[in-house]
């Protein structure tokens, strides 16, 4: 990564949350979009929808979820499922947080429910990689 035109921050490597806090504080960031690299179908349009959801919510944190049924229908696992407004949902691995509040402990959080396969496709296993490859090929018309 050091050869690419990106900034690299070496964190303590403790765990996700503390490493993100370290990075946000080190860079002095305001609003931060945290998204895993294992969400290959995410598009700019989806990111725009998530940012609009954050801007409307009025809370310092936002978590994106997808219906459990959508993940299951596509062949993905639904670990960490919970019920939100009567719908069984799964965290998508996409969050927005006001970096100025990073040290405030647990923040009030809004939930953004998106029933989109682009949000549901999260690769954690070889089988899920194969499903994602098939869906991407379909999307590209191959």
Instruction: Taking residues 125-142, report their average pLDDT.
Output: 89
Show the beta-strand stretches assigned E in the chain: 31-35, 61-67, 82-84, 87-98, 109-113
Q: What is the pLDDT of residue 64?
A: 98
The full set of domains in the chain, from first to last, is: 33-139 (3.90.550.10)
2 pLDDT tier (thresholds 50, 70, 90): low
Q: How many CA atoms lie within 13 A of 94 on its CB side?
A: 27
Whether residue 1 is predicted with pLDDT greater than 60 in this model: the reply is no
Q: What is the pLDDT of residue 142?
A: 67
Q: What is the pLDDT of residue 129?
A: 94
């Amino acid at each position: 990564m050091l050869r690419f035109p990106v900034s690299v921050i070496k964190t303590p490597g403790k765990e996700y949350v503390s490493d993100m806090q370290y990075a946000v504080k080190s860079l002095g960031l305001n609003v931060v979009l945290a998204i895993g690299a294992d969400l290959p179908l995410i598009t700019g349009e989806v990111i725009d929808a998530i940012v609009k959801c954050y801007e409307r919510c009025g809370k310092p944190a936002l978590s994106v979820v997808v219906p459990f049924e959508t993940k299951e229908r596509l062949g993905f696992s639904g670990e960490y499922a919970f019920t939100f407004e009567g719908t069984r949902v799964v965290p998508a691995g996409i969050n927005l947080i006001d970096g100025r509040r990073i040290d405030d402990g647990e923040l009030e959080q809004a939930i953004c429910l998106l029933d989109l396969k682009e949000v549901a496709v999260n690769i954690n296993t070889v089988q899920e990689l194969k499903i994602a490859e098939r869906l991407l090929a379909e999307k590209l018309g191959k």
